[in-house]
Amino acid sequence: MLKRITALAIMLDLASTVSAHELAKGPNGGRLVDVAGHHIEMVAKGTELVLILTDAADRPLSSAGTKAARAIVQDAGKTAAVALSPVEPNKLVGTLAQPLGTGARIVISATLADGHALQARFTNN
For the whole prediction, is pTM greater than 0.85? no
3-state secondary structure of 6: helix
We report the CATH number of the domain holding residue 104 as 2.60.40.10
Average pLDDT (40-60) is 95
What type of residue sits at position 115? G
Residue 114 lies in domain? 2-123
Count of domains observed in the chain: 1
pLDDT in tens, 13-40: 544 444 454 557 899 999 999 988 899 9
Average pLDDT (50-75) is 96
Q: Which pLDDT does position 14 carry in this prediction?
A: 45
CA 76 to each of CA 4, 69, 105: distance values in angstroms, whole numbers, following the listed order: 19, 23, 10
